[in-house]
Amino acid sequence: MATALTRKISPKLSECELTHLDRQPINISKAEEQHHQYENALKKMGYSIHRLPETPKLPDGVFVEDTAVVFDELAIITRPGAESRRPETNSMADILKEYRELHFIKSPGTLDGGDVLVLGKNVYIGISKRTNRQAIQQFDQILKPFGYQVHGIKVTNCLHLKTALTPLEDDLLLINPAWVDGEIFDVYQTKSIHPDEPSGANVMRRDNWALCPEAFPRTAELLGKRGYDVITVDQSEMAKAEAGLTCCSVIVE
């Protein structure tokens, strides 16, 4: 069964790392309920939930996507760009070794998993404030024997590459063209999100299910018109921590 690795929210979530947003109070109880709804939505999409050990002293621990990237052949444990987040990778490695052979990004490389978009054998990695070229070179060396091609691309005005685009199908991407150059993906079909919902491109899809934050009704409408069975969840508290839907899980097929 396909598995979603998740983690309980830290009571220190309000102390999370921020890059583009001003700090706002976060209602931890409400955030916990929203995260529970998110896990229930993943279950509805057919995933089995495997919760990682709790990390109450690590504010960003719930954002597990940034700690690992999973491929069919292996998994890569990252080295997050924010130094405070690097201890998060330890428990992820302990659990993920049950599923895959592990490889590790090493200093001076820094990489957040939210910057990694996998489209078949093409791997696009955002060059951002959290991810540098040294880590991208290491990614390329790890993946080249398995036939992957790694492409580094600039990301502007958003935290991670997958803040700006996510795949709906193997050849169809949902994209915010203001944050990433769509011409880079000219071999794929792209569908732009509504400009009133700049963060609306970060969605999740499995089979005919599509998961979308409640805050983006135009995106949900777009998905519905394309024939997807749309699930919406409230992510308002998590959004204050610069989180998208993909941030809170690592998918192992």
Phi, psi of 22 (to 5 degrees): -75, 150
Residue with tokens 């979308």: 212
Given a contact cutoff of 8 angstroms between Cβ atoms, the answer to whether 78 and 89 are in contact is yes
Q: What tokens does 78 get? A: 């990252």
Residue 218 CB neighbour total at 10 angstroms: 14
- Nearest one of 85, 233, 75 to 159, comparing CA atoms: 85
- Nearest one of 1, 96, 9 to 45, comparing CA atoms: 1
Annotated active-site positions, please?
160, 247
Q: What residue type is 120 in one-letter code?
A: G
Given a contact cutoff of 8 angstroms between Cβ atoms, the answer to whether 37 and 82 are in contact is no
